[in-house]
């Protein structure tokens, strides 16, 4: 049963929103997204870490909307690039560039590297702010893997077509969403948030 407590998912990224909604589907809240609030001030991601940026976004959007708010900040860290693009994953090929340009840029930077040297990991921090904008919970998740030689698969979003999670041969772009939602950085970070939200909202059903 859903309560009338509202939860704002502070993102316009449709890929992220789809995953967050699915991962929170058994929590007793009414979920809404930034798409329902076109006049809010955009938050600049000036933090140096995923957790800092997630907190900046959750706190600011909660203050502006007076809603319980979740923000996710995530990105891809590539070992051969000393952790780049990291917190700059969304802006890697310049502001406003497409997912395809970003993945092509990364593939060309790694072009000379063999599969053993293509280690990478997705990182995600999820911050939860209360209706006054106070951060009440932060959790983190990581998904280890490697960068494919070429893009494969049409599923997911962002860097999914070039990321092969550990233990699989397919990219996230090729794997079913149900599989990604069991092992992804976002699912792992959300596990902590879900437990906290269940206690906050009185949701009893476990996944």
Residue nearest to ligand IMP (CB): 158
Give the C-alpha separation, 97 to 80, whole Å.
Answer: 23
CB distance 53 to 110 below 8 Å: no
Catalytic residues: 73
Nearer CB in complex with ligand IMP: 90/149: 90
Nearer CB in complex with ligand IMP: 61/122: 122
Is the peptide bond preceding residue 85 cis, with omega within 30 degrees of 0? yes
Distances (CA, A) of 169 to 166, 172, 174, 178, 181: 8, 10, 10, 16, 17
Shortest reach from residue 171's CB to ligand IMP, in Å: 10
Shortest reach from residue 139's CB to ligand IMP, in Å: 15
Nearer CB in complex with ligand IMP: 121/194: 121
Enter the tokens of residue 194: 């879900």
Shortest reach from residue 147's CB to ligand IMP, in Å: 12
Binding stretches for ligand IMP (CB under 6 A): 13, 45, 73-76, 89-90, 122, 156-160, 184, 186
Q: Given the DSSP bridges, would you call strands 6-9 and 68-78 parallel, antiparallel or unpaired?
A: parallel
């Amino acid at each position: 049963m859903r309560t009338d407590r509202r939860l704002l998912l502070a993102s316009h990224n449709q890929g992220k929103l789809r995953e967050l909604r699915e991962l929170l589907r058994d929590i007793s809240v009414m979920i809404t997204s930034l798409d329902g609030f076109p006049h809010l001030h955009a938050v600049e991601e000036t933090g140096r870490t995923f957790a800092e940026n997630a907190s900046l976004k959750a706190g600011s959007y909660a203050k502006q909307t007076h809603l319980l708010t979740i923000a996710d900040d995530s990105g891809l860290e590539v070992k051969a690039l000393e952790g780049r693009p990291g917190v700059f994953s969304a802006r890697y090929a310049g502001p406003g560039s497409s997912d395809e340009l970003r993945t092509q840029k990364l593939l060309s930077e790694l072009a000379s590297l063999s599969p053993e040297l293509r280690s990478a990991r997705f990182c995600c921090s999820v911050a939860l702010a209360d209706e006054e904008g106070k951060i009440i919970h932060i959790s983190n998740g990581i998904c280890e893997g490697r960068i494919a030689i070429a893009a494969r698969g049409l599923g997911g979003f962002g860097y999914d077509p070039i990321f092969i999670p550990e233990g699989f041969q397919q990219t996230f772009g090729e794997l079913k969403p149900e599989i990604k939602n069991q092992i992804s950085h976002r699912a792992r970070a959300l596990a902590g948030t879900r437990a906290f939200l269940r206690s906050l909202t009185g949701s009893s059903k476990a996944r």
